[in-house]
A and B are shown apart, each in its own frame.
Chain A
Amino acid sequence: MGDGRAVLVEAVKVKALEFREVSKTFKSGALGRRVTAIKDISFQLEEGEDLAVIGPSPSGKTTLLKLIAGIYRPDKGEILIFGKSIVNNLSWARKNTYYISQQMQLNKKLTVKEEITYFQELFKNPISRECVEMLELVGLSERDYDRRIETLSETQMTILKVVLGLIKKPKIMLMDNVLGEIDQKIIEGFTKVLNSIEGLTMIIVDKNIDLLNRVCEKAMILIDGKLMDIGKVKDILSDYPYKYDVEVSWKHDVDENKIASLGYPYQKIGGMVRYYLRNETELKEAMEKIIGEMDKIMQVQVSGIDLEDIYYWRIYPKQLNEKNK
């Protein structure tokens, strides 16, 4: 009975987005050399799912979002939104997606009300409860709608950009490095409001991987335009052999031999050394060793494996010193 229901639920899940072997190249430089931004990518996303796209810069993250938004056309392959090809239904696709980026600016001379009215008139949609809630999160109540956009703070402007998108009632929201522009104090409220919108699929690119870890249930890792990994965050994490990381900030005079002497796989990231541990027993042992070396250490931080670790493993695989494993 239980299995039958699961099959039924599986059957009614709607494919919000489908990439079929999509490639995109750009001309670069005076000689017109072609640079691959996206290479033979295929994946699917169901309605209402939130996907974090992570990868170094450049790895094709923004290109991926702009392809979905219909701003770019793929060189090869097909992109389907709710089963419809973007290229053949460009206007429809643009209406049902909303791409928002750091670079997108509002007309600063206009008022909040004028920008909202413009979108309302274009899409014939009223301002929803979620929009009002979101504006209130950043202290913009109805009496502030007459304020010129140039008088708003960075966070308020970003929220207004999101609100304009919500007036459009998109089925897919594409956020390109937007979360970082929002005051971290309200980020939880912001994502809560977005998640309360039924059926809204979100694809988010952001430098703050820790934040993506909290917001998205699915993740995709892109490196050099190639899809390295995609799936539920917890599934991706369970595929990796390590469960904990201990970030140690060694003093400057500590040499490589000392760092390696703890006996666990590690990776150097900036001034930090991150040790990877398989289970609680290893964690306990490692902590005892670290405590023994406290006179050579400035700072220690322990956490569970998350997307950030996987991101670093994938980007800098050669730097993962696994000799100790």
Chain B
Amino acid sequence: MCLKFGFGANSLEGSSLGGNGVTNMLHDLFYGFSIALQPVNLLLCFIGVLIGTLVGVLPGIGPAGAMSLLLPVTFGISPVGAIIMLAGIFYGAMYGGSTTSILINIPGEAASVVTCIDGYQMARQGRAGPALGIAAFGSFIAGTFGVVGLMLLATPLAEIAVKFGPAEYFSLVCLGLSVLIYLTQGSILNGLAMAGVGVFLSLIGQDVIQGTARFTFGLTGLIDGVGLIPLVMGFFGISEILLNLEKPQKRAILKTEIKSLFPSWEDWRRSIKPIARGTLLGFFLGILPGGGAVISSFISYALEKKFSRHPERFGKGAIEGVAGPESANNSASSGSFIPLFSLGIPSNVVMALLLGALMLHGLRPGPLMLTEHPEIFWGTVASMYVGNAMLLALNLPLIGMWVQILKIPYKTLFPLILLFCLIGSYSVSTNIFDIYVMLVFGGLGYFFRKFNYEPAPLVLAFVLGPLLEKNLRQSLILSDGSMEIFLTRPVSAGSLLISLFLLFSAVLPSLQKRRRTVITE
């Protein structure tokens, strides 16, 4: 497939994993482009970024929901094409989310919440064009930088990760879950409870080591375990729709004339530093387990306000308040691919879905994936460059079209989303049982959310559960039943210490206060 263009990925010794740095990396990148530029992959990338922008624009369905809806669709396409499309949805949503924030003061997805503050004020002052423009340009710059960072960091990290054993993997999974729970809004105890349930749900079905069926309650539909797609569609699709349906919604689109989408020189002068800071901050926060686009956009806003000589302008239409967070969330979306591709550990729910998609295609993400399936990593990296350019074209000249789409009433939209959920969960294994599973989790998800229990820790724990179990049991077998194995290895001990520190912060009032400040900011 790739040899058509004369490129082939390097082996471990010869690749950027092994030695001879820049030349090999460029060679691998060309190999990636030879995959990403194939007509079918170009089309899938375009579909991905288009759907991503659409879900970003439309309030009520986020990237996680859209990706779970489209997971069954990817069965008919190649693994690399599937990942290119799903990744496109993720970073596309980061672009599109700003449109609703700026024009109707309703964030299309969580990472654009903070853009509402100054973006909407700019629109009210007749400056919707520059606000939308700087959001798109900032996103493009940050997204492109993020891909460069992903390319540079993923391979060296994978080289280190090859040396990791089950103890390190077990501890890193614990760390990922702890950070996510720590940063989830609301109580840490709620997050911990959801993670506990997620781990248990992941254990339903056949035992990974002995192959015996467990916790199936006599239901044949559970022998292969709870399906990722029905679970995610239930928690993110059905429950989200029930929450939106419970109260009548009214959207008012600001009637403002979008004169020019190009920011003035003064706008650029004010925005360039926030874009640079947001890009760097978002990228590094994206790499951290549990971090991601949402938290980086909030921290970027707080940072810009702190750096500004006129913090009083924030909240009244300061362009820095749009440029920084929008750059941060796009950069973070690229950064969050690093732990997935190099360690096989997703840093957030969206990455957990990508992990699920790779596993559904029979691939095992981890450090060896870069050498065993280089087409997945380099194809995705190259497609992200292409996708970012596509997004710039989609978001600037076509802004009028997205505004029109915003006018589609929710009562027309939600039956279509529900139909997608129903067919999607059914078609995975052509089994009605999966629809029931989805509806049960949809109902449960609704009540969990009403009682302030976020589904993200549950879904991440569900995806990581088998990895957690396998590595814990292997570690104990290797160490003759001694728990010391987790404390004698530096990476494992360090990860567990950080996890414990974060979880104990739920108990210590002084640290609890600090956490609340972080989340509030």
Decide whether A and B are members of one complex.
Answer: no
